[in-house]
Structure 1
Amino acid sequence: MHYVALLTIIDQELNAKVRPAHLDYLDKLYKENKVVMAGPFTDKKGGMVIYCADSPEEAQALAEADPVVAEGARTLELREWNALSFPLS
């Protein structure tokens, strides 16, 4: 199942400091097939990560372990996502 993490920046200075660890963490999870896609919003107020996890608990643990969340630089809103496959017929 897929889970979407919306990560809103609440501390710009701390976010800049922790961002390299955040990117390393996402890269590691991508290589483990736990992150499908990730990236910043164009308004520079945060970003989004799409996780692939076996349960809501696993997705929550992965998202909470992200350094930008764990260090308090960003808030976390995690939602289960039912991605559509195309064509829909």
Structure 2
Amino acid sequence: MKKFLQTTLLTLVLSLCLGIAAQAQTKAKPATKKAPAKAAQKKPESGAEAPEMKTYYMALLKRGPYQPTDTAEVNGIQRAHMAHIRQIAADGKLVMAGPFLDNGDLRGIFIFDVASLEEARALTEADPAVKAGKLILELHPWMSQRGTKLP
């Protein structure tokens, strides 16, 4: 049941993101022919407005093997985790982050705007909660329309 809820929640989050991207795309005129992925990131020369797609990196943060019970330790790890999030957001590398609210094994997400999967991995692995083993990560390249925002 827990796996079903996690899968359902992840599906809902991704559906929301894809729905927003699709809604934004319907406002632009569709391109007349398909172009390779790299070419899709450039504006068409014909003047037609096609959505500019971009690769981001999504980190799924999962419950790790180390779950401290000492309140002071838990609070210290959480403060350091939040400071790390604020810093990478201030650096312009973190587009969005947030926890899942169902207290399951899937704890939260990071969406990075960085040059590579390796850079996203390094930023996530530098998180104090990941270093402590409280969180583990699953990282995926993810494409969305550039500039898409949640309402």
Under TM normalisation by the shorter chain, which class is it?
0.7 to 0.9
Q: Distance in 1 between matches of 2:80 and 2:120?
A: 19
**TM-score normalized by the length of structure 1:** 0.84
Look at both structures and tell me which one has the larger radius of gyration over its CA atoms.
Answer: 2
CA-CA distance at 1:9 after TM superposition:
1.7
CA-CA distance at 1:16 after TM superposition:
2.9
- What is the CA RMSD across the aligned residues, in angstroms? 1.9
Which sections of structure 1, spanning at least 5 residues, go unmatched? Answer: none
Quick one: which amino acid aligns to residue 13 of structure 1? Answer: P
- Aligned pairs for 1:23-38 (under 5 A) are 23-38=82-97
Quick one: which amino acid aligns to residue 51 of structure 1? Answer: F
CA-CA distance at 1:56 after TM superposition:
1.2
State the secondary structure of the residue aligned to 1:82. strand
Q: Distance in 2 between matches of 1:30 and 1:52?
A: 10
Quick one: which amino acid aligns to residue 16 of structure 1? Answer: V
Q: Distance in 1 between matches of 2:62 and 2:82?
A: 15
Q: Percent identity?
A: 38
- Aligned pairs for 1:34-73 (under 5 A) are 34-45=93-104, 46-73=107-134
Quick one: which amino acid aligns to residue 6 of structure 1? Answer: L
State the secondary structure of the residue aligned to 2:68. helix
What are the superposed Cα offsets for residues 45-73 of structure 1, whole Å, 9 maximum, x if unpaired? 31111111111111111111111111110
CA-CA distance at 1:5 after TM superposition:
0.7
1:7 corresponding residue in structure 2 = 61
Structure 1 residue ranges, 4+ long, deviating more than 2 angstroms after superposition: 10-17
1:81 corresponding residue in structure 2 = 142
Q: Which moved more, 1:10-19 or 1:33-42?
A: 10-19
How many aligned residue pairs are there? 86
**TM-score normalized by the length of structure 2:** 0.52
2:37 corresponding residue in structure 1 = none
Q: Which has the higher strand share?
A: 1
**Higher relative contact order at CA 8 Å, sep ≥6: structure 1 or structure 2?**
1
Which sections of structure 2, spanning at least 5 residues, go unmatched? Answer: 1-54
Q: Distance in 2 between matches of 1:40 and 1:69?
A: 14
